[in-house]
Structure 1
């Protein structure tokens, strides 16, 4: 893609949604300038760096090619040993398995950002190298559609160039904003996650993933299942969603919150803002399979959601690459709570020298997941 336009607000508005405000644009422009200025003549360069773009700014052919590649991965056999997850079927399940396996150490922890950056890159590589995807990982530009997320091309329920729409309405004893309590397994004490019922709850019936068959999960449930604690057993079913507009707009996924997150002065404030103002809100808006903290990867939209989080991190890092690329904040487990597999292990802080479990025997150090233009990666967000 060419260098950013001198008037991107006008360009964004022409594609629909709320134009990028000036204060966010300053942060993004600084990121572009500093990142491109850091590149040399070899390795990752200005000429070969890939551009990750908003789904809403892609042409239809690129969108269709991406969706085709996702279906391609869903048609390929899994590589994970079935003794680890008897229900595993395809290559998409490989990614869901390792996300389930690592959930309690990669959320509300120091590994949230580097683990998911590496994870997204692995998925992008699989799409391109195993299924011939010509483009790169797009992001869900949710701040742009805080007035109505369903106006984004991500959620055009009828279009074959979208990820489909809401799930079918499901009857329940409560309103859309009433909450259930879902148990998160794997800790020394019970941890409950409040989850709104939302406006759907059933199968996604339109769009290119209406007939997608899921294999693993769900994991977070109202009642624990000791015989299938992490949802690894076979469970073929449809993809479900239950949109919750109260999380998609209002005080949620807005340009104001996006700017506050990216303008944070240090990594602690950045991660706290990302977790507190954006991460859970994004998943909760989608609802259904995409809101299960363990297996949200069952919804292909997960990767666009997390590409937006990675974009925010990249812009934040790009304000001071030397001082921020390897900045880390957080414990080694979810809020530092001990796992039931290591109940006497006291809380400790994550370091950039810690290994991360990425599946299929890949165990990079945390620091390897932190740059976007080094150690095999070469991309930027535009």
Structure 2
């Protein structure tokens, strides 16, 4: 029996083990991650890309699902005529290898057949999108449209005629053959997966899909001297709270000068409100829709019991609620690392602005 030996520790390691690696393993590059998607998830990813990164090109983006999609996966419409107007098609394919011509031929055939029958106008552009891209042969055909049509015609009987519909073979004859002969095959194009991912970085869905952390948050500019119209509700709620505390009516914020403590408290609340607004606006286009609203909901759920308790007056209710908000454990929330105690106080005033929190009964 051979002598057992200890496994030697590799020398010259160039990485340092981090907490993130221990919990989740090493990061996976987006180009590798998309290969693991299901066909449905790949379509969702492309829908995000077209809808958010190419939105300046389209009036509307729609995803077609189901067996009777007539060769359309994701369509971007440039005008209100939709399928009868100017539109582009993004054909999603998710295979374990680059798309070969045999996979593309039936898809091209569907566009030819259904546009010939008036189900829609031919798209302005038709893109094949796949995590491993198009294979060398198909890419060469797509890059040289003059070679694409003869290659398709040659493959028609074997790859296309029985794959367009389930009810009948589609033969290349008569008016349909003439239509195919004069069709503009330059509309069919490949797309670089790397380019898609780089553009997707600008969408609010990128971080949720691929990680990488949130971008650095810029320093908040602070509250302006003049109170804006969008502050009217929460400012009014605070004045009511101060009046409840002092037992004197307050017509406007100028009246707070009489009480230095309340005046300074009011200024801090405005700074907090603008901090929360800066947080909301900065991450609005950088995380998935609803992310900031879910943070507001976390704060609301954390303070509402304190809000509903009996307090000496409205001012003490404000103090109690904002103190609880500052101490809440929100580490599980995606925005936790970018949220300061001041922001949590400000979110309370955002909630007051929405009539969800009221300081006086």
Structure number with greater Rg is: 2
TM (norm. structure 2) is 0.23
Q: Could you say which structure has the higher helix fraction?
A: 2
TM (norm. structure 1) is 0.22
Higher relative CO (Cα under 8 Å, sequence separation at least 6) belongs to 1
